[in-house]
A and B are shown apart, each in its own frame.
Chain A
Amino acid sequence: MNGHIDADGIAEYRAGSITGRREQQIAAHLAMCAQCASVSDRLAEVSLLLAAAPLPAVPDAVAARLQAAFDAESPLSSEQSPLSSEQTVVTPARSRFRLPRLSPLRLLAPVAALAVLAAGAFGLSHLDGSSASGPAVAAGSAAESGSSAASGAERAAAPEMSPPLEGSFATGHADEGQAIGPDAQPPLIAASSTVDFQADTLGKQMNALFQDRAQLRTTQATASLKSCVRTVAGSKRVDLVVSARYAGAPATVVFVSDGSGYQAIVAGTHCSATERDILATAVVQSGISTP
């Protein structure tokens, strides 16, 4: 190499963008060429000068404007004041199912629907797969700790069943469970939890998570989370999604059902539309909703 190296070349060399034989050539040239070495020094000084430039503080007016914008936003959680009313939440698509007082979840309609599905997920080890395998069945059976013998009429006759499912489900229309049907997907609501799941206690922790579900913070699922959930769940029905941690790292727990049982899938942070990144799975036990 006889000629000088242009500033771009030296800068790329300095940045580590050039490797191999070319890197060695440039290094050798810089060692013997004062002119190019000077350019190299000046490149270094550009970075130093930029780093030394003081950070401009955000103007007060801008800071105030942003704070006002935050204040004008609704808080992310739909949580309201504790022990607020007996809200009867009715989703338009599920208007036959009154879901009175899912206290203390007290959430918007889609969340209420989710809560029912989640309750089913934990209350049942098996879905019977019949046309009545909607939330009403899940709710009724869960309240009976997994008994699958109850007919729709029996469930309808027991509207005041007490917890485990906190509050009763009006199942008077359970015979129309197919109005929801196994294919009906509630809007995906994500919850967040501070639980750090561990491999050896995953099952127990899942139980605990559900029993403390009222403490879960819920939020609308984001697009990226939905992509992840779709990838993880495949054709299985998604009953609950919880952002938590697993072995110390952020993770997403997806509870799915496939008609034969329920499973908790723990996905890592690389979970996306194209990658599953599954860290662990656990079969969710039946009857665990009993306190």
Chain B
Amino acid sequence: MSPSTGPTPDAELLRQHVGGDKEAFGELFRRHRDRLWAVALRTLGDPEEAADALQDGMLSAFRRAGDFRGDSAVTTWLHRIVVNACLDRLRRRAARPTALTGDAEALDVLAMQSSEEDPGGVSATRLDVDAALHMLPPPQRAALVLVDMLGFSVADAAEILDISPGTVKSRCARSRARLVPYLDHLRGNRTASESVSPKRGDA
């Protein structure tokens, strides 16, 4: 690795890794680990599981580096593998009961709890972003995290999730719509009463 002419491109690091360079993959990980961690944490909602998924994904990327065909950015490829590792875990977890399943009841319970707490408070009623995300069904959540939180284009998110761009748009749209009633809690600077809005606005 020669730092003389700026950082080595991701794809070159990956090639070096494939070629047996023992440092290259660690360097690649260091570059992207915070974003990858954010995706894993927000998709899974649990640090322990996120750490496991990140490790699963990155080891898979380590071993499958020869797979990388350069038709997408390395970071897209890495996210794809890590997101898949997360979704695998969620599928396995689906067999177990969870407190928040992302269904309507969970949303309602959370809305009730939120409004019971000091409605005029600033931080007391503030919903943690991660908690809010966890109210969404995992596939919708993953799309929203990638597009709205990490700034991936719809096209890149589609590639990462292996779904069509139209499905990415649709999942993001439905996720945003589900979060609208909790907007004030999310921003934590308005009273809960102001947050009442037509979740289903058909008059």
Contact = CB atoms under 8 A, between A and B. Distances in A.
Most buried by B among A42, A192, A194: A42
B58 interface: yes
* Chain B: interface size category: 35 or more
B41 interface: yes
B140 to A, nearest CB: 11
A53 B129 contact: yes
B173 A15 contact: yes
Contact of A55 (B34, B63, B148): B34
Contact of B66 (A49, A78, A192, A249): A192
A103 B183 CA distance: 66
A211 interface: no
Contacts of A225: 66-67
A262 B20 CA distance: 30
B183 A221 contact: no
A73 B63 contact: yes
Most buried by B among A63, A245, A252: A63
Interface string B125-161: 0000100000000000000100011010000000000
A55 to B, nearest CB: 5
B202 A6 contact: yes
Contact of B67 (A4, A79, A217, A222): A222
B26 A70 contact: yes
Interface string A228-245: 000000000000000101
B19 interface: yes
Interface in B52-103: 54-55, 58-59, 62-67, 69-71
B172 A51 contact: no
Interface string A1-31: 0011111101110111100000000000000
Contacts of A16: 169
B15 A65 contact: no
B71 A269 contact: yes
A51 B33 contact: no
* Chain A: interface size category: 35 or more
Given A66-B58, A269-B70, A42 B180 contact: yes
Contacts of B17: 76
Nearest to A220: B66
A74 to B, nearest CB: 9
B38 interface: yes
A219 B71 CA distance: 19
B111 interface: no
A232 to B, nearest CB: 14
A73 B60 CA distance: 11
A47 B148 contact: yes
A146 B59 CA distance: 45
B1 interface: no
Contacts of A57: 34, 37
Given A70-B62, A76-B66, A50 B33 contact: no
A55 B66 contact: no
A43 B200 contact: no
B20 A79 contact: yes
Given A6-B201, A50-B148, A77 B34 contact: no
A219 B66 contact: yes
Interface string B17-30: 11111100110011
Given A77-B19, A192-B19, A42 B183 contact: yes
B55 A69 contact: yes
A147 interface: no
Contact of A49 (B41, B186, B203): B186
Given A70-B62, A192-B66, 20 more contacts: A3-B202, A4-B201, A6-B201, A12-B169, A12-B170, A14-B176, A15-B170, A45-B183, A46-B179, A51-B148, A59-B51, A66-B33, A67-B26, A67-B29, A71-B22, A71-B26, A192-B15, A225-B66, A249-B70, A269-B71
22 contacts: A4-B203, A6-B200, A6-B202, A11-B172, A11-B173, A15-B170, A16-B169, A36-B201, A45-B187, A49-B129, A62-B54, A66-B55, A76-B17, A76-B65, A79-B20, A190-B66, A217-B20, A220-B66, A221-B66, A225-B66, A243-B69, A250-B70
Which 9 interchain pairs have the tightest Cβ spacing?
A77-B20, A250-B70, A11-B173, A58-B37, A217-B19, A269-B71, A7-B177, A4-B201, A50-B148
